[in-house]
Structure 1
Amino acid sequence: MTVTTAAYATDQLPGETVDAVVIGGGAAGLNGALMLARSRRTVVVVDGGAPRNAPAAGVHGLLGLEGISPGALLEKGREEVRRYGGLVVTGEVIAAAPAAPSAPAAPSAGGDPRFTVTLADGRTLSARRLLVATGLRDVLPDVRGLAGHWGQGVVHCPYCHGWEVRDEPTGILAVGPASVHHALLFRQLTDDLVYFTRGTGLDEDTRARFAARGIRVVDTPVSEVVSAEDGGIAGVRLSDGELVPRRVLAVATTMRARTGGLDELRLPLRDLPGGMGRHFATGAAGATDVPGVWVAGNAADLSAQVGASAAAGALAGARINADLAVADTDAALDAAERGVTRA
């Protein structure tokens, strides 16, 4: 699901080629941009304003900023990037593609690549390096009434939301084998837990383990999620008409990296087992097989929380700066050998 947040102030696009364009202005993208800007690199963050965690009331498990709202965190991040000369632009990237490298080409293995980034309104950017931090989208199971409670009564991560829903009557809407582990984690948070198998099957050993922990198993198919008068969840309606009262539902979503506008980069993708999701395949510090392109955050690591995504963005930003430093030195050496004075 995608939730668009309120608009925020946007900077003007520069006319010249910048050192880096960051596609995505979440924790990973902004922290990557911060590292680059603090290294005196020209950097532009392009953000569509639809972070994955927009429906959540707060960010949790982030030391020093526990409970901060997602919007407030990103606003602080944008301010910090701008403090060091970075730009943050509101826009949707519809195409990012390799362009001709600088001439004369640097003698390093990857040369000094160039990329053209096109926005939905027709504006373009030229960049030496790209940091893809587009995040992911969560695909919910097709259960009537479920999507409307996403991020409130319907949660996916025990570490992100568990404390806030502790001791509530909770249900696990199974989607596959991953839901078994999900149930064990949420059992730590409540004594009142119901596991709706939804036709996924459950072996006898797992049923025995659930019984030992007091987890009730319901095999009757789920018909819909019923809303309460207060706007929350009243319970789960089964196909036989029974209403199982629940206030919270936990679902292991299918997580897919946002890839829109990135096809021309030909970045490799990797599938998780059991159809759990798809993400960009990366190496150390988010480097990809495409010279000049890094990926950080949930687009590369589907399980990363905000803190891990921010750390990955910082590391990728540092590696991009190091790569640019090598390219700058190669170009300076080439110019010196040809007797050309360069800045």
Structure 2
Amino acid sequence: MSVRASAHASDALPSEAVDVVVIGGGAAGLNGALILARSRRSVVVIDSGTPRNAPAEAVHGFIVLDGRPPSEILERGREQVRRYGGRVVSGEVGSTEPAAPAPDGDLRFTVILADGRAVTARRVLVATGLRDELPDIPGLAEHWGHGVVHCPYCHGWEVRDEPIGVLATGPASVHQALLFRQLTDDLIYFTLGHEPDADTRARFAARGIRIVDAPVREVVTGQDSGIAGVRMADGAVVARRVLAVATHMRARTEGLDGLKLPMEDLAGGTGRRFASGMAGTTEVPGVWVAGNATDLMAQVGASAAAGALAGSHINAQLAAADTDAALAAAQGGTTTT
């Protein structure tokens, strides 16, 4: 599910090599950059301005910032990164590849933007986030982030007590239905060909969740521009005000093929992500990944925390590399008699 790019002020791309390029200006990328900038590292954030949560009116479940618009949080984050000397550059990454090592053997990477601008970095933090893929049902996508939601913790309180429909996309939708049942007594589960087994049907019945097996034709928009219901194949409309959908989540990979980062599929076909280890390390030396690009279920707070952890880990490795270089220079300049 693509979102419209949001305009924001852009810094100039430096001509000299920097310590770290952060690809992605969401919560993970900005918090990673903040940690690095506060450690006096030269850091550049490449931000396309298309965050996953752009359609949402507010961020929820993040203490202190609960209820704040995503655009406001990101703007404040960019300002804070700049306060410590970091740069935030507006643009899309065209390619990212390892470059020839520095004379001291330290790693180098070249990041080229879609408009041809380029920057060289010692390390790379990938924080590109993910894209949500919705079922191909007419009328569904236009309500994404408003009447169409996916996370009971992000949006649940706001849709409490509304007539909610769950559009099944796979096994994860069963779990989703049970969570949204906590928020409303009026819940309908549209199977969309994903037939629940006997045990699931019994559990749904015990919780008062109605199951509709008939095919869905489209989502109906009401006079108030919100969701009015779901039109079935026979033309009947089942009234609903909110639809919950477990999306298929894919890490955003544009411009990163040259890094050859390993990827992995989640169980049940719910998504595809970059594989990562402790603190966001990857199998590619010098490259880390944080946030929704590797943790598809992470909310804003968890993504920000992952970015901070990756940033501190990158700084520690750079400190070791700086020390190795200084030691080699000192030893190389020592003469014996």
- The TM-score, its normalising length taken from structure 1, stands at 0.96
Query: What secondary structure sits across from 1:52 in the alignment?
Result: coil
Residue 8 of structure 1: aligned partner? 8
Aligned: 1:176 with 2:166: no
Give the whole-Å Cα distance in 2 for the aligned partners of 1:15 and 1:202. Answer: 58
% identity of equivalent residues = 72
Give the one of 197, 211, 228 matched to 1:203.
Answer: 197
Matched, 1:165 2:159: yes
Equivalent residue number for residue 232 of structure 2: 238
Query: Superposition pairs for residues 204-219 of structure 1, below 5 Å?
Result: 204-219=198-213
Match of 2:268 among 240, 258, 274: 274
CA distance in 2, matches of 1:134, 1:295: 9
Aligned equivalent of 1:144: 138
SS at match of 1:225: strand
* Distance in 1 separating the partners of 2:146 and 2:224: 13
**Secondary structure of residue in 2 paired with 1:134:** coil
Matches within 5 A, 1:49-64: 49-64=49-64
Which residue does the alignment assign to 2:290? 296
Gaps of 5+ in 1: 106-111
The Cα shift of 1:324 comes to 0.2
- The 3-state SS of whatever aligns with 1:186 is helix
SS at match of 2:98: strand
| CA-to-aligned-CA distance 1:140-180 (integer Å, 9 cap, x gap) | 01111100000000000000000000000000000111100
CA deviation string 1:268-308 (max 9, x = no partner): 00101121100000000000000000000000100000000
Using the TM superposition, give the Cα deviation of residue 77 of structure 1 relative to its aligned residue in structure 2, in angstroms.
0.2
Shift of 1:240: 1.3
Number of matched pairs: 334
Give the distance between the partners of 1:124 and 1:272, measured in 2 at CA.
Answer: 34
Shift of residue 333 of structure 1? 0.7
1:261 pairs with 2:249: no
Partners of 2:60 and 2:118 in 1: CA distance: 36
Q: Distance in 2 between the 1:122 and 1:57 partners?
A: 34
2:131 counterpart SS class:
strand
What displacement does 1:4 show? 2.2
CA RMSD of aligned residues (A): 0.7
Moved over 2 A (4+): none
Give SS of 1:151's match: coil
The amino acid of 2:235's aligned partner reads G
What's the counterpart of residue 109 of structure 1? none
Q: 1:250 aligns with which of 232, 244, 251?
A: 244
Deviation, structure 1 residue 203? 1.0
Paired residue type of 1:176: G
Quote how far apart the aligned CAs of 1:104 are. Answer: 3.0
Equivalence for 2:87: 87
Q: Hey, what's the Cα distance between the residues in 2 that align with 1:301 and 1:190? A: 28
* Aligned mates of 1:236, 1:126 — CA distance in 2: 51
Quick one: which of 110, 114, 133 aligns to 1:120? 114
Between the aligned partners of 2:132 and 2:64, the Cα distance in structure 1 is: 27
Q: Distance in 2 between matches of 1:29 and 1:93?
A: 14
How much does 1:5 deviate? 3.9
- C-alpha distance in 2, partners of 1:184/1:127? 47
1:29 matched to 2:29? The reply is yes
Q: CA deviation at 1:209?
A: 0.7
| Offset at residue 313 of structure 1 (A) | 0.1
**Letter aligned with residue 228 of structure 1:** G
2:150 paired residue number:
156
Decide which of 262, 280, 283 is 1:286's aligned counterpart: 280
Distance (Å, rounded) in 1 between the aligned partners of 2:5 and 2:293:
19
